Amino acid sequence: MGNMSDMVGALLEARSLSKHFGGVLALDELNLSVARDEIVGLIGPNGSGKTTFFNVITGIYSADAGQVRFDGADVTNASGRAVYQAGISRTFQHSRLSLPLSIFDNIMIGNHKRLNQGLWFNLVRRDDFRREFEEGYAAARALVEVFEPALADRLFEPIAGLAMIDRRRIEICRALIGAPKLLLLDEPSAGMTHEETAELMNDILLVRDRNKNLSIIIVEHEMGVIERITDRCVVLNFGRKIAEGPYRAVAADPQVQEAYLGAA
């Protein structure tokens, strides 16, 4: 894989990325790259910088040092909007859906870049708007059907009435509808049972099988999930990369075991 990714160039490449909050180094000269079509697991104990990495990439925090390249362009400290336009979508550790809005509305928020935002188009050219709306409906419905066919008939119900697993599904649909090149999943299994988690992972793999050009970085504490779906893992501890490789190799790494279990 290493040679291949050198040849075509990595999709995402973070070089010596650093971020500190006061005296705490949340990211410490982190180098991390993701190849096209690759699923990378980002693991490490709580507070090791995983979510901070996502937040720096997606413009919520700005990096103190280092560089991020995505798809051939420099996106270091780019705004959330610019990163999304470039093709990175994400989910959040604590679900950030808009609860009073319908399932359809929430999914369409993720489709922002493909919707006509003109005032004239939206207010006056209602026939054209209707066409775009119906296209959006068809796309959202098709996507939701992959995850849970029962939800597809409930697209105009508010999110507030949905179970946790369905909310996660909708959050992932929202991230996928804009056809990103890179999907950042921040603990998709949080708050769900083992069975639900397994189901959700099947869905994600299914979606990826359908569009081959999607790379994924997944932050996850469920090691079963990581083992099953990732091609490669990166282990963080105190903001630094302490191991990298296939799951089995890093799981056997004594440094990794020490990070998780504490110094023996």
Partner 1 sequence: MRQKPQASLWSGAIALAVATIYLIVLLGAERQAVIIALLIAGIAAVTAGAWLGLFTSVSASFADHEDALGASTIISALAVAAYFYDNHFVLLLVITVLLYSVATLGLNVQFGYAGVLNFAGASFFGIGAYTSAILNDYTAVPHLLVLLIGGLLAALAGSLLLLPVLRTRGHYAAVVTIAFALLFKTFLEVNDVLGGPQGMQVKGMKILGWSFNDNIEIGKLSLSFYMNYLVVSLLLLVGAFVMVRRLERSWIGLNLDALRLDETAANCFGLDVARWKITAFLIGNFLIGIAGALFGMVGGFVAPNNYTFADSLIFVSILLLGGIGNPWGLVIATIIVVVVPEKLQTIQEYRFLLYALMVIAVLLFRPQGLLPRPVRRYFPGWRPWAT
Binding site for partner 1 (CB under 8 A): 58-60, 79-81, 83-85, 89-90, 92, 96, 98-102, 105, 108-110, 112-113, 115-117, 119, 122-123, 126, 129-130, 133, 137-138, 141-142, 145, 152-153, 155-158, 174, 178
Q: How many CB atoms lie within 10 A of CB 170?
A: 28
Single-letter residue type at 170: I
Between 94 and 248, name the residue whose CB sits nearer to partner 1.
94
Report how far residue 19's alpha carbon sits from residue 132's, in angstroms, rounded to the nearest whole number.
41
Smallest distance from partner 1 to CB 79, Å = 7
Smallest distance from partner 1 to CB 133, Å = 5
Q: How many CB atoms lie within 10 A of CB 110?
A: 23
Between 4 and 160, name the residue whose CB sits nearer to partner 1.
160
Between 59 and 245, name the residue whose CB sits nearer to partner 1.
59
Tokens (6 digits) for 20: 């500190």
Tokens (6 digits) for 131: 């066409």
Nearest C-alpha neighbor of 186 from the set 199, 168, 210: 168
Q: Are 250 and 216 in contact (CB under 8 A)?
A: no
Between 129 and 238, name the residue whose CB sits nearer to partner 1.
129
Smallest distance from partner 1 to CB 249, Å = 33
Between 101 and 205, name the residue whose CB sits nearer to partner 1.
101
Smallest distance from partner 1 to CB 207, Å = 17
Between 25 and 146, name the residue whose CB sits nearer to partner 1.
146
Between 106 and 230, name the residue whose CB sits nearer to partner 1.
106
Smallest distance from partner 1 to CB 169, Å = 16
Smallest distance from partner 1 to CB 19, Å = 17
Tokens (6 digits) for 39: 């699923």
> φ, ψ for residue 68 (rounded to 5)?
-125, 125
Q: Are 256 and 235 in contact (CB under 8 A)?
A: yes
Smallest distance from partner 1 to CB 52, Å = 15
- In DSSP terms, 209 is beta-bridged to none
Q: What residues contact 82, with CB distance under 8 A and at least 6 apart?
A: 59, 75
- In DSSP terms, 217 is beta-bridged to 40, 184
